[in-house]
Amino acid sequence: MKKTRNVWGFSIWEKSEMKNIYRNYNEEDLHAAYVHMTDHTGKVNDELREAISQKFNYDEFVKAAEYRKIVVKEKGRISFEIHKRVQKGEKMDVILENISSEIIGSSDLKIFILNKFDQFSKVRENDKIDEKIIFKSLLGLVIASVTGSLFFKAVINYIYRTVFIFSAGACLHHQLFGDLWDYRKDKR
């Protein structure tokens, strides 16, 4: 690559020699870049098209990427359905019987449903509020209140003692040196 200076004196890379940033991407990264670009801009830039064409058949790659988008949407639909059913309290067998997919194979679908059911069940169990949690929160409230009150009392006592010591020091200073200050005032 060759660096040149533009009209304003800034260094720039010559456009004709710019490297394709996608050339080192693996297949997974190219799929992600393709999907992201088509979702946000609706088209693919020349550099990405060139990188895909160098490594793969472009039309087959596009079909595979579009299929992946469909699979991701289908998994999202299934996840939403599983989440809704887990929140209702349905059992695993009922969910397995009632959810189907024309896109995802039956064995992959079953594994996906089992994983999502386990994940959503743990979240549901974690979100439950029972007597044990309420007791622990009330105990924490009492401990925090007592600890805070003791700390506040210690701070007040420290401030009181500090003020008393400084006040006593100021009074002693006035008794010892008060006449000296009064003497200076009279000379003015």
68: tokens are: 């992946």
Instruction: Retrieve residue 65's tokens.
Output: 């990427």
Q: pLDDT tens digits, residue range 4-58?
A: 665 566 665 555 444 678 888 888 898 888 888 988 888 888 888 988 998 899 9
pLDDT grade for 2, boundaries at 50, 70 and 90? low
Q: What is the pLDDT of residues 58-95, one digit of tens each?
A: 999 999 999 988 999 999 999 999 999 999 989 999 99
Amino acid at 155: V
Could you report the per-residue pLDDT of 115-158, keeping only the tens digit for each? 999 999 999 888 787 888 889 999 999 999 999 999 999 988 88
Those residues whose C-beta lies under 8 Å from the C-beta of residue 69, and which sit 6 or more positions away, are 35
For the record, the structure tokens of 102 come out as: 């024309």
Task: Tokens for 37, please give them.
Answer: 């670009």
Q: DSSP code of 157?
A: H
Which of 35, 19, 117 shows the shortest CA–CA distance to 68?
Answer: 35
Q: What is the pLDDT of residue 18?
A: 45
pTM: 0.57
Tokens of 149: 């009150």
Distances from the Cα of 70 to the Cα of 65, 86, 124, 127, angstroms: 9, 24, 28, 32
Cβ-proximal residues to 27 (8 Å cutoff; 6+ apart), any chain: 55, 56
Query: Alpha-carbon distance 152 to 92, whole Å?
Result: 54
Q: How confident is the model at residue 187 (pLDDT cuts 50, 70, 90)?
A: low
